[in-house]
Chains A and B, each alone.
Chain A
Amino acid sequence: MNESSQTSAPVETIALTRVRITFGKLETMRYVGNLDMHTVWERTLRRAALPLAYTKGFNPRPRFQIAASLPMGATSRCEIIDVWLEQPPALEEIQARLQRSAPPGLLVVAVEEVPLQSPAMQTQLLAAEFEVTLLDAPPAGELDRRITELRAAETLPRQWRGKAYDLRPLVEEIERLAGEPPRLFLRLSAREGATGRPEEVLSALGLDQLSGRVQRTKLIFPL
């Protein structure tokens, strides 16, 4: 190291850009858990050869945040990840490179730049919407009766991983969608510590938890 590099001038920091990627988790990815999704993203970003910003410390990791965990087995086209980059190429180029580098089942829907100081997505999430395709649904009339009953209930006491909770306030909306096969529309609370799970709603309707094919259709943030 020569003398000139050790002057007392302030260290030049590279300006970061925060990029928000809307992505889809499709059929072949639906059984990949949330922890593993972080690794899937890390490798996708590396293959895309984007100028990733790394965390400091002994074991530097690329800086990114996934907005919301998706229940195992669910598909989605509306997931969000924020990635911090150093002097990245144009957004279209980022999107093209990412899609080329993504594994089967990971779809890059949109890429936009967001202000660096935007709050963390996880803390902002209010609710999520789902469409659940029912594999062995009761007749429509019976299903409607159960939905009406669920809506009318004051409380829906349930257990999740050994902990008692009330499902009812977490179900913001529930409807049967027209058409075949039978489908449900759900809008469930997704606040920290108050997250509704689609398969729990199936149970509350007297359906097998494994008899629904779950798709998340929207993440809802404050306007």
Chain B
Amino acid sequence: MLHPREIEDRLERILLTVQKPGRYTGGELNQVVKDWEGASTRVALVFPDLYDIGVPNLGLAILYDLLNKRDDVLAERAYCPWTDMETAMRAAGIPLYSLESKHALADFDIIGYTLPYETLYTNLLNSLDLAGLPLFSAERGAAHPLVIAGGHAAFNPEPVAPFVDAFVIGEGEEVMGEIVDAHQAWKHSGGERAALLRRLAQIDGVYVPALYDVRYHPDGTVAAVVPLCAEAPAVITKRLVGLLPPPVTNFLVPNVDVVHNRVAVEIMRGCTRGCRFCHAGMISRPVRERPVDQVLDAIEASLAATGYEEVGLLSLSSSDYTNIVDLVQKVSQRFNGKNLSVSLPSLRIDSFSVSLMDELKELRPGGGFTLAPEAASERMRRTINKFVTTEQLLDTARDIYAHGWTTIKLYFMIGHPLETLEDVQAIADLCKAVLAEGRKVVGRKAKVNAGVSTFIPKPHTPFQWVSCDSMDAIAEKLALLKSTLRDPGIKLTWSEPNVTLLEAWLSRGDRRMSAVIHRAWQNGTKFDAWQEHFDIDAWYRAFEAEALDPNFYSHRARGLEEVLPWDHINSGVRKSYLKQDYQWSQDLRFREDCREQCFACGILPGFNDMRAGLPDDAWKCPPVKGKKRIPA
């Protein structure tokens, strides 16, 4: 591989020919540059999308910080170059390199990919190729870097299983260090690559796909996923950290504009609401909160370290954070008058949320007030388990307009299980009703922005068995919304149904799907989440070439007894619980917030030992009534 000096010399000749060259140079404030020779393990952390998207990613920032805190480890970063840069790099013979030291990725010991969403899969392949590495794990040897991946998409690793040596299932904070240790021990032992893989398979939460054989029934459904050696556990249970460690504060500050130019502080992980469509809500249990003072100190320290003007307080459901009032009051006391803006996303639909935002009014980011009802009819709200009455929503809207906001953003999904055109009509009616409330309060200035996405039944959720809504039905539902919501006060945006379809294939696929991904990449697909690169025909051709039926993955209800391609990955929530919750959705039965009452999703017995070593209130699971002993 080229030496960093050669890479730099070649870069100098191409950087002025590409858009936004500052993406490709590194040198940002707070980047960590360590002595290459002095590190025992060198890790390249890759976010396989454009720099602009990757830099603000909190997951990668956490791993970068934590790996670089180890004296014996060096962690650097890489992102996918935009196509102009990729073309220039390939023409100049420049491999994918790390931004810090300009080392070729192939020179690292470990390449760690974060896969927060599935439309990055072709970029995963493209970046391995640009790095000059064999795409398939089986073709890589002891001299190649170990390729690992984690993130929310990794909860169904099968579609990319042949390309990745090991997956981290769940939270990376602790397991990352264990992987580095195992790699070091293997390196000292001078063993074969297969020995490294067997070593990794023994780490809790690490899945090594090469050590499993997937068997299929004649109809294409999975018969079994069979471990091939003693080191490979039959079920891989996700990792989680019992207590959230203090948050990262020394964020990288890019010199060029990126999608979120802000400090991000995760105030809470997990969610107790139990919305049935929500992948994150199911896989990130249990709820753990950071103390108010820790959050405040982190905001202060990161603002001083970065000079950012914006703070995002992240969680899946801000209103549910136990001490939210206290937090919001203290944030406004400390930071009012400092020309800052503070965003508090994912608020519940009630007047309480309006009062929270009002408390932050001097720190208000520009733009509207966002609510995510997701559905508009009572039947749908019960189906998806996101229950808010229309009356409550209109009261909240009135309150929002009365407090000075002129725009309300409403997020909905169409294509929910059991959904009919009447349910979609209800979305249109609701948007109009909200606008009517706004006009009563602020007149013609009132605006409603309605964002409509299409539901995908995600693995590890109670809807994992259902089929996607048919493309015809989606088209009909979108047409209904477009024709009904023609008011100049309402702006309707929607996600492209074909993009959603691709996400459905990729998220619900089995291991055979990897051949389709490989073929689609050969057909030229990459940056699938980007409209200008999205090419559905290339995907259809790939399915055809691999003799697989796309509808088998997206438009087929799966039997409750079927072995799902991701069944050997344990999110901590039991399949029996998901089945029950699915049944409840069919019965339009609402399940309450599980902060109030434990519904035995499986987290507590699954992580009993961890919980036992923690303070009682470390997790927001209520005390379990009845049985004293929880059977494991």
B residues within 8 A CB of A103?
Answer: 27-29, 253, 255
Of B10-18, B117-125, B151-159, B479-487, the segment with at least 4 beta carbons within 8 Å of chain A is B10-18
Within 8 Å of chain A (Cβ to Cβ): is B257?
yes
| Residues A47 and B255 in contact, CB atoms below 8 Å apart | no
Bound Cα distance A31, B99 (Å)? 14
Known A73-B16, A103-B29, A103-B253; contact A32-B306, beta-carbon cutoff 8 A:
no
Within 8 Å of chain B (Cβ to Cβ): is A213?
yes
Most buried by A among B14, B20, B26: B20
Q: Within the complex, what minimum Cβ distance (angstroms) separates B33 from chain A?
A: 9
Partner of B12 from A45, A62, A213 at Cβ < 8 Å: A213
Known A33-B22, A105-B27; contact A39-B257, beta-carbon cutoff 8 A:
yes
| Residues B256 and A43 in contact, CB atoms below 8 Å apart | no
Bound Cα distance A174, B273 (Å)? 71
Bound Cα distance A46, B14 (Å)? 33
Partner of B25 from A28, A47, A210 at Cβ < 8 Å: A28
- Number of A residues with CB within 8 Å of any CB on chain B: 32
| Residues B255 and A210 in contact, CB atoms below 8 Å apart | no
Partner of B255 from A32, A46, A54, A101 at Cβ < 8 Å: A32
Q: Within the complex, what minimum Cβ distance (angstroms) separates A7 from chain B?
A: 22
Within 8 Å of chain A (Cβ to Cβ): is B626?
no
Within 8 Å of chain A (Cβ to Cβ): is B577?
no
| Residues A59 and B21 in contact, CB atoms below 8 Å apart | no
Within 8 Å of chain A (Cβ to Cβ): is B335?
no
Most buried by A among B15, B17, B22, B366: B22
Known A43-B306, A46-B309; contact A36-B12, beta-carbon cutoff 8 A:
no
Bound Cα distance A40, B255 (Å)? 6
B residues within 8 A CB of A76?
Answer: none
From B303, which residue of chain A is reached at the shortest CB distance? A46
| Residues B21 and A72 in contact, CB atoms below 8 Å apart | yes
Partner of A60 from B12, B20, B256, B339 at Cβ < 8 Å: B339
Known A42-B307, A46-B309, A101-B307; contact A36-B13, beta-carbon cutoff 8 A:
no
| Residues A36 and B27 in contact, CB atoms below 8 Å apart | no
| Residues A46 and B307 in contact, CB atoms below 8 Å apart | yes
Within 8 Å of chain A (Cβ to Cβ): is B212?
no
Within 8 Å of chain A (Cβ to Cβ): is B241?
no
| Residues A31 and B307 in contact, CB atoms below 8 Å apart | no
Q: Within the complex, what minimum Cβ distance (angstroms) separates B597 from chain A?
A: 46
Q: Within the complex, what minimum Cβ distance (angstroms) separates B151 from chain A?
A: 29
Q: Within the complex, what minimum Cβ distance (angstroms) separates B7 from chain A?
A: 15
Bound Cα distance A36, B258 (Å)? 10
From A28, which residue of chain B is reached at the shortest CB distance? B27
| Residues B28 and A54 in contact, CB atoms below 8 Å apart | no
Q: What 7 A-B pairs have minimum CB-CB distances, sorted nearest first?
A: A28-B27, A43-B307, A103-B29, A46-B307, A47-B307, A31-B21, A32-B255
9 contacts between A and B (CB under 8 A): A31-B21, A31-B22, A33-B20, A36-B257, A73-B15, A103-B255, A210-B13, A211-B13, A213-B12
- Beyond contacts A31-B22, A46-B307, A103-B255: 8 other A-B pairs, Cβ-Cβ < 8 A, are A29-B27, A31-B15, A32-B255, A33-B22, A46-B308, A47-B305, A73-B21, A103-B28
Task: List the interface of chain B (C-beta within 8 A of A).
Answer: 12-17, 20-22, 24-29, 31, 253, 255-257, 261, 303-309, 339, 366
